[in-house]
Amino acid sequence: MNVSYTVTLADYKAALPLHRRQKLSRRLSFVLWFIAVPVIATIGLIIFLIFDLSKVMHYASVLFGIECGLIWISLFLPVWALYSTRKCYKQIFQASGKKRTIELDVTDESVRSVIPGVNEGKFFWSENMAFVADDRVILVYVAKKRFILIPSSFLSQAQVKELQATISRNKVGR
C-alpha cells in the first residue's frame, strides 16, 4: 500500500492526546501539571486571601512565595504547550510555510516513511512496533516515543482494512 498525504496542525493536535493516552505515566504527568497544579494554585490563593484578610501574617508570607510559583506554572504551561506544539509541527511537517507531502509505503515486511528534507525511515514489522488508532488518526509506533502519524481522512476504507490486515498478519501489538 502506497499513500501520500499531508499532515495538518489539527491532525497533529489530534495525535498528541492519543499518544498521551497510551502510557499511564504520560496521563499522570498531564493530570499533575495541567489539572492538579492549577487546582492547588487556586486553593492556595483562596487560603492566602483568607490568611491575609484575617491578619494572620505569619502564614500569609509563606504562602505568598508558593502561590507566585504555582500561579506562574499554571499560566506558563498551557501557553508553552500551545507554542511547542506549533513549533514541532512546523519543524517536522512544514518547510518555510509550505506543507510537506509524506510518502508511506506499507508492505508485509516493513513500513517505509519519507518526509522530504527531514526524515526517511524503514521499519520492519519484526521489530518492537505497536499500533493504535482512533477516528481521526492512526499511530504506528516505531519506538517507545516515536510514531508515524497517518490521518484517517486520507485513507479509504479499503486502505484502512488493508493496513489492519497487514498489522494483524505481522502480530503488531497495541
Asked whether the beta carbons of 141 and 131 are under 8 A apart, the reply is yes
Question: In which band, very low, low, confident or very high, does the pLDDT at 38 lie, cut at 50, 70 and 90?
Answer: very high
Q: Which residue has the cell 498531564?
A: 30
* Confidence class for position 28, pLDDT limits 50, 70, 90: very high
Look at residue 39 in the predicted model and tell me its pLDDT.
95
Asked if residue 55 has pLDDT above 80, the reply is no
Percent of the chain with pLDDT over 70: 98
Tell me: pLDDT of 67 over 80: yes
pLDDT score of 117 more than 80: no
Reduced 3-state DSSP string for the chain: CEEEEECCHHHHHHHHHHHHCCCHHHHHHHHHHHHHHHHHHHHHHHHHHHHHHCCCHHHHHHHHHHHHHHHHHHHHHHHHHHHHHHHHHHHHHEECCEECEEEEEECCCEEEEEECCCEEEEEECCCCCEEEECCCEEEEECCCCCEEEEEHHHCCHHHHHHHHHHHHHCCCEC
Euclidean distance between the first and final Cα of the chain, in Å? 21
Place of cell 519484526: 126
Which fold, 2-8+96-169?
PH-domain like (2.30.29)
Categorize the per-residue pLDDT at 63 as very low, low, confident or very high, splitting at 50, 70 and 90: confident
pLDDT attached to residue 147: 92
Paired strand residues for 8: none
Residues of the chain with CATH 2.30.29: 2-8+96-169
Number of Cβ within 10 Å of residue 102's Cβ equals 23
Distance of CA 172 to the CA centre of its chain: 21
Look at residue 97 in the predicted model and tell me its pLDDT: 75
pLDDT digits (tens, 9 = 90+) for 1-26: 889 999 999 999 999 999 999 999 99
Q: What is the mean pLDDT of residues 118-141?
A: 88
Average pLDDT value over all residues in the chain: 89
